[in-house]
Chains A and B, each alone.
Chain A
């Protein structure tokens, strides 16, 4: 039996066990799904407004952008926070003490976070199909585009989340890392097209994955005519592939290096020191 392959299998089952635990713990479920429910309410109330300069429903235009944003939020920040928290509480050290345990741990996390991301998307998307008008969901191409943007989005964001999680020493600082992500979302044209922004700010937004995930999802779910409202006047599939692909490669190269460095530093005394700090804060 190949130890790595065995650990990958163990990791998949680990992810599924943790998925079941999340789905059966009301508090967890609430924390994970609440944002999606809020988005859904916003979409419902903006369904009657129109995108400036068109007769197209603002709610329907925002839906795919929100799906793109959910991939970043769910993929990147959940991955980041669980790594920071589980390093503090000793979960990672336990994985390190077991043969090929780190492989299993990471595979488990990828399975869990991907599943929760897809679930979150379903919570927004499925009711929207009934509530919103004007979505182009009748063709197979729409769903294929949604699938490749989703998969590429996860491959681009999960390793980045792992890298950030490995660099945060104290999970309570995780909130600080969420702020730049919020700022990024603000300059990525999720809620409003970037036309009103200064050029340099809009260009900055286009460096990061959020913009391209929003655009990719819009290209999947909106009628082709809506491409005219976009920055380049087209869906820019090649550019989407290029930028997301570049982030994916950067993340996949950096993650093993950063994670190995993080794992090397884990030890019983490191976990006990963090526990004492955490208990002091609590007291």
Chain B
């Protein structure tokens, strides 16, 4: 495996009883990359993440995470992986600083020049300095999630897993959380996160993976995925108070022509491409329709033979 690949998954399969949850998932991730895994409920996002975390055994396929098979990771591998878990009522009697200091002790046996985080710096980074002496049970929902992130990154991981990190956040907490994720990624930490929030995916992702029907149906930047679905852009403008809308393949040429004709009487100019949400919905629907068609074809072949 080349040194500049953090995650290398090939043809990963997972089967529970008679149900195939993952039917062949393949993707890679590079250091410092933020990957967002999207997909409908039950598509296998959590299963995929838990296999990569080393918390679940896979049925088949090749998986390398930080150069090792997560099913046989060992403790020094574990020290390089960060996992943001959703706290509930664990460690409720512990104080914020107390638990962070305790957990950081385990990483001292695997210390590097940046591992583990200094607890004071970590508290500043997640914005919990004022709560350092508070009991964990007294934290608000947003503070608690930031605390979960602090626990996840305390070992200064090379790879961080975030499974639906902002579920239940208010917009302000979400914005703060996004800034934090950017800071972590700037530190050369690879991040793999799942979310249902497409706006969040667009803001955070270097690359988006869409998992549907147990396989990756799309892999690319938000921009590249959008272009794959629709090359059309919508141009809106006003001339003398009248609003116009026009769809075009070549928005730049169209707008140039527009200025040529109307010059500075044009106001309120907007050029819009399909949003990630449009793209996502189209891709998932196309995939599901394709699967239905295939099932119908198979059925009629069986019926006619």
Chain A residues with a Cβ under 8 A of chain B: 1-3, 6-7, 9-10, 13-14, 17-18, 21, 25, 86, 89-91, 93-94, 96-101, 104, 266-269, 271-272, 275
Contact = CB atoms under 8 A, between A and B. Distances in A.
A271 B55 CA distance: 12
Given A1-B109, A6-B106, A17 B86 contact: no
A13 B102 contact: yes
A269 B89 CA distance: 16
Contacts of B83: 97, 268
B98 A17 contact: yes
Contacts, number: 95
B110 A3 contact: yes
A60 B214 CA distance: 69
A157 to B, nearest CB: 25
B110 A272 contact: no
Contacts of A14: 102
A268 B163 contact: yes
A257 to B, nearest CB: 17
Contacts of B91: 91, 94
Given A17-B102, A25-B93, A266-B55, A100 B109 contact: yes
28 contacts: A1-B111, A2-B109, A3-B76, A6-B106, A6-B108, A7-B109, A13-B105, A17-B94, A90-B86, A90-B87, A90-B88, A90-B90, A91-B90, A94-B87, A96-B55, A97-B53, A97-B85, A98-B78, A98-B103, A98-B155, A99-B79, A99-B155, A100-B106, A100-B109, A266-B55, A267-B56, A268-B46, A271-B86
A18 B75 CA distance: 25
Contacts of B106: 6-7, 10, 98-101, 104
A236 B86 CA distance: 53
Contact of A99 (B46, B89, B110): B110
A18 B46 CA distance: 32
A99 B102 contact: no
A91 B79 CA distance: 18
B163 A99 contact: no
Interface of B: 46-47, 49-50, 53, 55-56, 75-76, 78-79, 83, 85-91, 93-94, 98, 102-103, 105-111, 151-152, 155, 163
Contact of A268 (B75, B79, B86, B103): B86
Given A13-B102, A93-B85, A268-B50, A99 B90 contact: no
Nearest to A279: B88
Contacts of A101: 103, 106
A93 B49 CA distance: 15
The 8 A-B pairs at the shortest CB distance, nearest first, are namely A267-B55, A3-B109, A6-B109, A91-B90, A99-B79, A10-B105, A99-B75, A99-B78
B77 to A, nearest CB: 8
A86 B98 contact: no
B152 to A, nearest CB: 8
A62 B205 CA distance: 69
B55 A21 contact: no
A128 to B, nearest CB: 31
A89 B55 contact: no
A249 B270 CA distance: 77
Contacts of A94: 85, 87, 90-91, 103, 151
B73 to A, nearest CB: 10
Given A10-B102, A10-B105, 18 more contacts: A3-B75, A3-B109, A6-B106, A6-B108, A14-B102, A17-B98, A21-B93, A86-B90, A90-B85, A97-B152, A98-B78, A99-B155, A104-B105, A267-B56, A268-B46, A268-B55, A271-B88, A275-B88
